[in-house]
Structure 1
Amino acid sequence: MSDSIAASPAASSGDYSADSASDKPVVIRSAADITQLVNRGAAKISDARIVIAIALGGVFLDAYDLGALAFGMKDITRQFGLTPSGAGFVASAITFGAIVGALFGGYLTDKIGRYRVFMADMFFFVIAALACAFAPNEWVLGGSRFVMGLGVGIDLPVAMAFLAEFSRLQGRGNKASRVAMWCPTWYAAISVSYLLVLLLYAVLPATHTDWLWRLILGFGAVPAILIILIRHRYMNESPVWAANQGDLQSAAAILRKSYNINAVVADDADKTPQVKVRKAAWRNYGTLLQGIYLRRTVLATVTAVASSFAYNAVAFGLPVILSSFLQQSMISTILFSLGLNLCFAFVGGLIAVRYVSKFGAWKMTYAGYACQLVAMIGLALVGRPADGGEAAISIAMLALFLFGQGFGPGSHTMTFASLSYPTSLRGMGVGFNQTLMRSSSTVSLFLFPVLSAALGTGVFWVIALAPLAGLIVLTAIRWEPSGYDVDAEDFDVPVPRH
């Protein structure tokens, strides 16, 4: 794959490299020049990494808020007298909100810019987290979780756009590895929620354990407030998006501030978007299903839906699995869940970040789904463990599932969704992907309590269908986004592959 697109003379004549002096002028003549400079890598002294960290902070919030109820559902069900369907409503409300949020968030990310959308959606997390903490009944709790889901759905398209558009194409800190960082960040957030549960469970009086879920949900406002406080110092619009809107002056200013590149727009620069660049419009969702993007969209969507369905069923049900199927105490359940997430899901995510540029997202996703299929079949065959040996096998299968999720589909479904489309379509591409993915999450979270009650451990046969579907679509469509300069497609520039 080529690591750059055809450049105008100004940007390709040796004006810039990652090691060049920050005061050396770089002449900008087109939006393609801005893309090239970002693809080559930031200067050594740069705020781009901080922007990436803030974007990942948004991902942290998404994961924390989605997983915060895992240990609280039993208390909520008891406190509000919920039926299995009522528990499914409360559990799935956030993902239903995320469906709506992703649909509109993808459009707004491309329409009004990454910065404005990211700044606005942080307030959803603060307001909704506090409302959840003080919810007097299941309707207020479900409604607040829905509002929280709007923030989650809006955040993912913009966060992925920041990760892709503030990263270089190849080398250390490349786009694929930066996008894959969303996965270990996600599992770190899940682990923090487990640690918080463990701490609160240890300090709360036995007569006040019903406070546990309220405190956990309310804590979600804390990181959101921190992000709001630091956003004005470091956060900037994506220079690639600004350039694609025809605003080369703003794009150059962002390069100067975030990348420490002395970018100067030429007097004779073409200050209008390139002819092929698309303005944000609802019809662009249809573009994702046409031409070269159809196969990419099918691959990204099916793998995301399969990954989401299986992971949410297992991750949300992990405390139930450990406490009910393996007859563990609450403390043991928390410790086992924390250990499995840190040692397998989180470590798998770090492996994905480290090796995606070497092995590619396609191969790692395929291997991850294979691990998950084996794990689900193993859990289904063991059923309810009858002794310590079978319990050990069940725990090993859960570990295998989470490890496969970490280095495989958990990391790279977002790589497919983010890096299969150029800047002009990226927000809507991720938004479309997340809309269908969150639909899968909603179905999974709603059905798991019902199916688990009806089928017992037989539910693992149902979950096994998800990784099987992922393997089938990966076999049918071999598309590798890692290292491919997809933004060149906005400028009618051929992009050769190795």
Structure 2
Amino acid sequence: MSSDRPFSAATHEELLALSDQAARRVMNTQGTKSGQGVGWLMMATILVESWDIYSISFLLVFIKHDFHPSALLLGLTSSAVQLGGLFGAIFGGWLADRLGRRWVFISTMVLFVILAPLQGFVTAMWQLVIIRFLLGFPLSSDLASGYAYIMEAMPRGKREVMGNRKQAMFAVGEVLAIAVITVMMIAGVDHSLLWRIGLALGAVPALFLLLGRMNITDTAPSLILRGKFHQAKQVSQVMFHDPLDMLPDRDYRIKRPSTANFLKSIWSDPVRRRASVFGWISNAAQTASFGAFGFYLPTVLGLAGFSKDPIGTNLMTGAIYCLAAVSGFIGPQITSRIGHRGIAQWGFGISFVSLLVAAIAIQANFGIVLLIAAAAMMWGQYWAGTNGMTVTAMVAPTRYKATACGFGYIFVKLGSAVTLFLFPVLLEAVGTAGATAIVSLIALAGFLAARYILPEVYGYVEAEHMSVSRIAA
């Protein structure tokens, strides 16, 4: 079988049209159990990221005791993964669209398995900052490619339900982190050793995930649009029971469209444009409000005087995250009834009201009211955060799918990085109540975006009306 034969402009245009036709056919076909099983494997990535991001929130008190960092350096340590994730989101999607999904999945987990344990051997705060910055790259790259995989390997309706399970998996990772750290605290593990073990343990689920991914293939649409027709036909037969007879059983070199044309492609269609803009706003708003209040929830509860015992605070926080996990599992199931607009409006609306109540409760020192408001806020946050990435991935053209996911995830990391970096400073400047009230405005912005920008796109299937050459013209 020959491959990579260059073609004239006319022949190349025909190949582009043929690949678009095959990709659309796959995206409109019911998937098999194989595709759905791989979808869960992609979602498991979020558990790894959740462990790494949120375990440090319960370990900061011990890290501070060992290194005595300034508030600015403490915020930089907390946000380093998010800052590194900005670069991972940018380049991870780009690499996945050009080199394939599988290449990204394997390389990112290898990097994480190597880097995560190194956190346990640092001797200075700046070393921890650097390692956590590097960790952000594989985590974000993997998630951007994973969302593209879900949208390409599963049928419509099911693909968005799976994508909306992101928050549920985050909650599972958070609860596991809290449980393991609390058990080590109860067991009397030395605090200087405890935080090192807690951060390094993220390599364990990552290793299992790496082993589970060794036998997966690229998605059929990704292979089609890269001219890998022979393998695409085989993958499509397994995942969709469709041999794609319209494709030749050989590979060709298809010129990849310029990434510079990605935004032009999104902007060319009003549904794609509005849905993508909402996704970007939602990603930033949800992670910004959650990153500030949710990430520092143990600190907030301590400053509010609700619990002075670290173990008690962990157990209380764990109970709230268990409730959030229930919310994360319910949200995707009801999306088919109330739509993407409905789940986003309810989520951001609940979060906005809860944060305002929490600010008042902190100011008035109403501990019980604060606990109820925090639980309600988490419920709302886990609905608000279900579909920002899902909508972004759904409406993107297949040839830009991973690039679109990476671009959308930039806003996730940007919103989180900014607030994690500035929230400790904000706490010192205006106090816990004032900082919480300010954060509520971010949730309000998400609600307004869901109500006035997002069109209902549940069940959306892309329709690439323009060829790549016309988009680039």
Which of 164, 175, 184 is residue 180 of structure 1 equivalent to? 164
Structure 2: which 5+ residue stretches go unaligned?
A: 1-17, 468-473
Alpha carbons 2:145, 2:402 under 8 Å: kept = yes
Which of 279, 284, 306 is residue 305 of structure 1 equivalent to? 284
Alpha carbons 1:30, 1:270 under 8 Å: kept = no
Give a deviation string over 1:33-80, Cα, whole Å, max 9, x none: 45434533224xx42233112211212111111112011111111211
Alpha carbons 1:97, 1:148 under 8 Å: kept = yes
Tell me the SS of whatever aligns to 1:68: helix
Which of 360, 378, 399 is residue 339 of structure 2 equivalent to? 360
1:41 corresponds to 2:30: yes
2-structure distance, mates of 1:291, 1:31? 17
Match of 2:402 in 1: 427
1:154 corresponds to 2:133: no
1:340 corresponds to 2:320: yes
Structure 1 residue 199, shift from structure 2 partner: 1.3
Instruction: Give aligned-pair identity as a percent.
Output: 23
Alpha carbons 1:107, 1:280 under 8 Å: kept = no
Alpha carbons 2:230, 2:248 under 8 Å: kept = no
Alpha carbons of structure 1 residues 391 and 31: separation in structure 2 relative to 1, 3 Å:
same
2-structure distance, mates of 1:103, 1:416? 18
**TM-score w.r.t. structure 2 length?**
0.89
Give a deviation string over 1:310-344, Cα, whole Å, max 9, x none: 0111121111122221331112111111111111x
Alpha carbons 2:22, 2:247 under 8 Å: kept = no
Match of 1:399 in 2: 375
Tell me the SS of whatever aligns to 1:47: helix
2-structure distance, mates of 1:223, 1:416? 28
Give a deviation string over 1:220-262, Cα, whole Å, max 9, x none: 11111112222223x1101111122233321111133445x36
Give a deviation string over 1:398-437, Cα, whole Å, max 9, x none: 1111101112x21011222211212112211111111122
Structure 1 residue 394, shift from structure 2 partner: 0.8
1-structure distance, mates of 2:237, 2:68? 58
1:115 corresponds to 2:102: yes
2-structure distance, mates of 1:418, 1:125? 24
Match of 2:8 in 1: none
Alpha carbons 2:56, 2:199 under 8 Å: kept = yes
2-structure distance, mates of 1:280, 1:212? 49
Structure 1 residue 87, shift from structure 2 partner: 0.3
Alpha carbons 2:340, 2:457 under 8 Å: kept = yes
Match of 2:227 in 1: 246
1-structure distance, mates of 2:29, 2:93? 26
Alpha carbons of structure 1 residues 413 and 440: separation in structure 2 relative to 1, 3 Å:
same
Structure 1 residue 264, shift from structure 2 partner: 5.8
Which amino acid is the alignment partner of residue 69 of structure 1?
I
Match of 1:124 in 2: 111
Alpha carbons of structure 1 residues 228 and 468: separation in structure 2 relative to 1, 3 Å:
same
1-structure distance, mates of 2:146, 2:377? 26
Structure 1 residue 490, shift from structure 2 partner: 6.3
Which of 343, 360, 363 is residue 381 of structure 1 equivalent to? 360
Paired residues in the alignment total 446
Which amino acid is the alignment partner of residue 131 of structure 1?
L
Structure ranking higher in helix proportion: 2
Give a deviation string over 1:422-467, Cα, whole Å, max 9, x none: 2112211111111122111111101111111222221111101101
Q: What is the RMSD computed on CA atoms of the aligned residues?
A: 2.2
Alpha carbons of structure 1 residues 420 and 374: separation in structure 2 relative to 1, 3 Å:
same
Which of 264, 276, 282 is residue 259 of structure 2 equivalent to? 282
Alpha carbons 1:362, 1:474 under 8 Å: kept = yes
1:326 corresponds to 2:310: no
Match of 2:212 in 1: 230
Alpha carbons 2:106, 2:214 under 8 Å: kept = no
1-structure distance, mates of 2:166, 2:404? 17
Structure 1 residues 130-169: aligned runs within 5 Å: 130-169=117-156
Which amino acid is the alignment partner of residue 191 of structure 1?
V
Alpha carbons 1:164, 1:178 under 8 Å: kept = no
Give a deviation string over 1:267-298, Cα, whole Å, max 9, x none: 76897799xxx835331343266322433332
Alpha carbons 1:176, 1:357 under 8 Å: kept = no
290-299 vs 391-400, which moves further: 290-299
